[in-house]
């Protein structure tokens, strides 16, 4: 999949890493004005201003968003900062109101991305409209749902697309509000060439203190921008108080981030080229070794068939797993990586041998 317009081609003057900031929720006109003035005074004007108007809260009873009135206050942002505005839409009625009030960029929230009916409803409401849409990852780490939501938008003609990585719900991992699962955004970028992913450290970390570290990691991994919740008085925010930062706090965070160059593939330095060539050779060797290993697996499969043995032999598996993991760890490979690698190789081996058994034994009915 490819063929969509990247943020730099959205006609909004975006360039390089995109910084989106603003409060979790629009609360009052005074609040919007104060955030804007503090941003201006701190000389910390983001590329895009965010504010939630309709808030999908996990439990009822908490602040569920100010609704259409909040959209009227977006004029204040335009007057003070003159930057594009983005808000979350969760259904066709939201889309209609956001368009009526000339919101520049829409985003689909994590609780909506999980639901193809809702995403399709939003896509249908956007048919024939030229507006950029960003899609947050679904609550659960399901790449297909994330891709699917982007595809539904593309199918109705929305070609200004980006993704937002806001982490995945995991009630066991207390380190994060939403576990980052970095392989997901990277996988999305592999699957959809040129798809930019903006990291939302606020919702991943869930508290102010961890934002810098997560944002830096996102940039290190090659993600394309940051969405950081920013409020003039975070402690008294009506939603997500713990994770919001002040404009001054945002400025400090951004000044500490080492923004790497994205891309880089078109014009890598000589040293990078040499290292990549060496990697290419090693990968060739790795493939040769795997080919040889699987040919041995096939020979063992034939023997098991002859001797009427089952494919899976638990003692042997235990030995392979333990001995290789121990050796790998001594070579500075992590235990988790060794286990995943061995599971992957073993699963393929077992499948090949079982297939051999079936194919070699076609007459038994
Ligand atoms: C938000 O950005 O305020 C929000 C509700 O995000 P998410 O959909 O990621 O929970
Ligand atoms: Mn929020």
Whole-number pLDDT of residue 363: 54
* Ligand 1 centroid – CA 206 distance (Å): 11
pLDDT higher than threshold 90 for residue 215: yes
Arithmetic mean of pLDDT, 144-156: 98
**Which has the closest alpha carbon to 227: 252, 248, 245?**
245
Model confidence at 266, pLDDT cuts 50, 70, 90, reads low
Q: How far, rounded to the nearest angstrom, does the alpha carbon of residue 333 sit from its chain's CA centroid?
A: 26
- Ligand nearest to the Cα of 134, by number: 1
**pLDDT by residue (tens digit) across 300-349?**
999 988 998 888 888 999 999 999 999 999 999 999 999 999 999 999 99
Rounded to the nearest integer, the mean pLDDT of the chain is: 94
**Which has the closest alpha carbon to 250: 234, 228, 235?**
228
Residues 5, 81: Cα–Cα separation, whole Å: 25
**Who contacts 51 (Cβ-Cβ below 8 Å, separation ≥6)?**
22, 23, 25, 26, 32, 70, 74, 77, 85, 87
Whole-number pLDDT of residue 360: 59
Residues 156, 154: Cα–Cα separation, whole Å: 5
Owner of token pair 């909040």: 70
Whole-number pLDDT of residue 262: 63
pLDDT higher than threshold 70 for residue 361: no
- Ligand nearest to the Cα of 177, by number: 1
* Ligand 1 centroid – CA 109 distance (Å): 6
Ligand 1 contacts CB of residue 110 (under 6 A): yes
Instruction: Give the mutation target among 58, 88, 140 for probing the ligand 1 site: most ligand atoms within 8 A of CB.
Output: 88
Nearest CA to ligand 1 atom 4: 109
Q: Are strands 197-199 and 225-229 parallel, antiparallel or unpaired?
A: parallel
pTM score, whole prediction: 0.85
Whole-number pLDDT of residue 104: 98
Whole-number pLDDT of residue 263: 58
Ligand 1 contacts CB of residue 24 (under 6 A): yes
Min mean pLDDT across 88-97, 114-123, 166-175, 222-231 is at 166-175
Whole-number pLDDT of residue 348: 95
Instruction: Give the mutation target among 23, 50, 52 for probing the ligand 1 site: most ligand atoms within 8 A of CB.
Output: 52
Model confidence at 362, pLDDT cuts 50, 70, 90, reads low
Owner of token pair 């699917």: 148
Instruction: Give the mutation target among 24, 50, 51 for probing the ligand 1 site: most ligand atoms within 8 A of CB.
Output: 24
CA distances from 139 to 61, 283, 307, 334 (A): 21, 35, 49, 28
What number does the ligand 1 atom closest to the CA of 111 have?
A: 8
**Which has the closest alpha carbon to 85: 112, 137, 45?**
45
Model confidence at 17, pLDDT cuts 50, 70, 90, reads very high
Whole-number pLDDT of residue 318: 93
Residues 68, 70: Cα–Cα separation, whole Å: 5
Model confidence at 1, pLDDT cuts 50, 70, 90, reads low
Model confidence at 85, pLDDT cuts 50, 70, 90, reads very high
CA distances from 321 to 75, 197, 214, 239, 345 (A): 62, 36, 33, 47, 11
Share of residues in the chain with pLDDT > 90 (%): 84
pLDDT higher than threshold 80 for residue 19: yes
Share of residues in the chain with pLDDT > 70 (%): 96
Ligand 1 contacts CB of residue 98 (under 6 A): no
Residues 172, 47: Cα–Cα separation, whole Å: 35
pLDDT higher than threshold 50 for residue 200: yes
pLDDT higher than threshold 80 for residue 365: no
Q: Which two tokens stand for residue 188?
A: 């999305």
What number does the ligand 1 atom closest to the CA of 164 have?
A: 9
Whole-number pLDDT of residue 268: 73
């Amino acid at each position: 999949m490819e063929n969509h317009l990247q943020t730099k081609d959205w006609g909004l003057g975006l360039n390089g890493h995109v910084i989106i900031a603003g409060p979790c929720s629009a609360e009052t006109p005074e609040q919007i004005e104060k955030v804007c003035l503090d941003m201006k005074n701190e000389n910390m004007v983001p590329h895009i201003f965010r504010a939630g108007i309709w808030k999908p809260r996990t439990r009822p009873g908490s602040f569920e968003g100010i609704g259409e009135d909040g959209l009227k206050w977006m004029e204040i942002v335009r007057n003070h900062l003159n930057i594009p505005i983005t808000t979350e839409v969760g259904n066709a009625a939201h889309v209609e109101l956001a368009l009526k009030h000339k919101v520049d960029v829409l985003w689909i929230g994590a609780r909506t991305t999980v639901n193809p009916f809702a995403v399709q409803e939003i896509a249908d409401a956007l048919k024939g409209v030229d507006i950029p849409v960003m899609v947050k990852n679904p609550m659960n780490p399901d790449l297909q749902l994330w891709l699917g939501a982007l595809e539904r938008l593309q199918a109705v003609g929305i070609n200004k697309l980006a993704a937002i990585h806001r982490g995945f719900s995991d009630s066991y991992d207390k380190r994060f509000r939403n576990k980052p699962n970095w392989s997901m955004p990277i996988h999305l970028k592999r699957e959809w060439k040129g798809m930019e992913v903006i990291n939302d450290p606020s919702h991943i970390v869930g508290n102010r203190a961890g934002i810098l570290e997560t944002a830096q990691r996102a940039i290190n991994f090659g993600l394309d921008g940051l969405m950081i919740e920013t409020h003039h008085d975070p402690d008294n925010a009506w939603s997500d108080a713990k994770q919001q930062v002040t404009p001054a706090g945002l400025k400090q965070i951004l000044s500490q981030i080492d923004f790497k160059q994205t891309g880089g593939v078109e014009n890598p330095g000589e040293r990078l080229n040499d290292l990549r060539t060496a990697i290419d050779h090693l990968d060739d060797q790795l493939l040769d070794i795997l080919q040889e290993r699987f040919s041995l697996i096939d020979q063992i499969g034939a023997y098991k068939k002859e001797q009427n043995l089952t494919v899976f032999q638990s003692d042997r598996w235990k030995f392979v797993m333990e001995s290789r993991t121990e050796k790998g760890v001594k070579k500075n490979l992590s235990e988790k990586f060794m286990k995943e690698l061995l599971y992957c190789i073993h699963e393929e081996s077992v499948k090949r041998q079982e297939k051999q058994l079936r194919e070699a034994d076609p007459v038994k009915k």
